Amino acid sequence: VWVDEFEKLGLEDCLDHKWPVSCVHISDHKTKYLDRPYGRVSRKKLKLKLLNSCVENRVKFYKAKVLKVKHEEFESSIVCDDGRKISGSLIVDASGYASDFIEYDKPRNHGYQVAHGILAEVDNHPFDLDKMMLMDWRDSHLGNEPYLRVKNTKEPTFLYAMPFDKNLVFLEETSLVSRPMLSYMEVKRRMVARLRHLGIKVRSVLEEEKCVITMGGPLPRIPQNVMAIGGTSGIVHPSSGYMVARSMALAPVLAEAIVESLGSTRMIRGSQLYHRVWNGLWPSDRRRVRECYCFGMETLLKLDLEGTRRLFDAFFDVDPKYWHGFLSSRLSVKELAVLSLYLFGHASNLAR
């Protein structure tokens, strides 16, 4: 995540490593250096902090799988796989994009971000320890892999790297967005070829990550009886796949909308409650902004390697206010229009 995002959320202590500079290799002949610190989230620290907050606020936990949900006029309930039934005024689903309990009224024509990553001990690596490599779009590693190179030219992938010391590094080959989904094995083969070209010999794999993130597509039907947050609510950034910082920022927004409804003297429930909480998370201006980001995703889907390089070459040349804001989902529609016009002026004919 970007360090400034977690600082604003009071979560900087959940980062286990920070890099003062990020870099983007556009090609073999061009590299961008980004003066914006990047950090690695410690899953353990973040989870512990959230659990401690739950304990302090007397949250009750119950471990079971939800089989179905039932709704009445002013009450909803879940039926668990152990037979227990739990009732309440509102169900909030944070189980991820594959949830069966969130409804859509439009075709789910989302894109997919696919990645293969490893946290590895290596003999050595070529990365600067004070720089996090956000994207490496170079394809010289495929010089002896004609089949892979042809496919990469049409559907490019990049390397994302976080070096911790001279022998410990996180490496991830990523397809930014594809539709239909680029094969995971294809992504993995490209990473193997890249590491071989870079002379990186893996001693041991400490962690392995197989990542598929759904991006863009329609929002869930608004409103509906079950509230959503996280991947199932549509808050994944449609053009980048970022979600953690945004989820952490919007969770209190949703919580406040729930408290205002259920904690009021009128005790707002039923259809009025659903309307308030869904529109609290997705007010009209936020929906319009998301449509702009979805348009960005649709543009990325049309670009080959050269088009992608040209786009990011221009993107990271704009005033940092714009690329910072774009990647952090905080630009207004007007600001997105300014950014789009700039990128249009620097885009290839195909991208236009």
pLDDT tens digits, one per residue of 43-99:
999 999 999 999 999 999 999 999 999 999 999 999 999 999 999 999 999 998 889
Cβ contact 172:115 at 8 Å: yes
Same domain, 208 and 222: no
Task: With respect to residue 20, please indicate whether it lies within any of the assigned structural domains.
Answer: no
Same domain, 203 and 233: no
The per-residue pLDDT string of the chain (352 residues; one tens digit each, 9 = 90 and over) reads 999 999 999 999 999 999 999 999 999 999 999 999 999 999 999 999 999 999 999 999 999 999 999 999 999 999 999 999 999 999 999 998 889 999 999 998 999 999 999 999 999 999 999 999 999 999 999 998 999 999 999 999 999 999 999 999 999 999 999 999 999 999 999 999 999 999 999 999 999 999 999 999 999 999 999 999 999 999 999 999 999 999 999 999 999 999 999 986 678 999 999 999 999 999 999 999 999 999 999 999 999 999 999 999 999 999 999 999 999 999 999 999 999 998 888 766 655 6
Count of other CB atoms within 10 angstroms of residue 256: 13
Given 215, 230, 265, the domain boundary residue is 215
Same domain, 94 and 235: yes
CATH code, 196 = 3.30.70
The structural domain count of the chain equals 2
How far CA 287 is from CA of 209, 281, 290, 316, in Å, comes to 31, 10, 5, 25
Phi/psi of residue 249, each to 5°? -75, -35
Residue reference for tokens 């309307």: 275
Q: In which domain, by residue range, is 259 found?
A: 89-99+217-346
Given 215, 230, 252, the domain boundary residue is 215
Tell me how far apart the alpha carbons of residues 187 and 263 are, in angstroms, rounded to a whole number.
49
Same domain, 125 and 244: no
Tell me how far apart the alpha carbons of residues 129 and 126 are, in angstroms, rounded to a whole number.
9
Given 194, 215, 236, the domain boundary residue is 215
Same domain, 211 and 297: no
Task: With respect to residue 291, please indicate whether it lies within any of the assigned structural domains.
Answer: yes
pLDDT reported for residue 351:
56
Q: Rounded to two decimals, what is the model's pTM?
A: 0.93
Same domain, 221 and 329: yes
- For 13-24, what is each residue's pLDDT tens digit? 999 999 999 999
Same domain, 300 and 202: no
Same domain, 172 and 261: no
Task: With respect to residue 84, please indicate whether it lies within any of the assigned structural domains.
Answer: no
Same domain, 252 and 340: yes
Task: With respect to residue 36, please indicate whether it lies within any of the assigned structural domains.
Answer: no
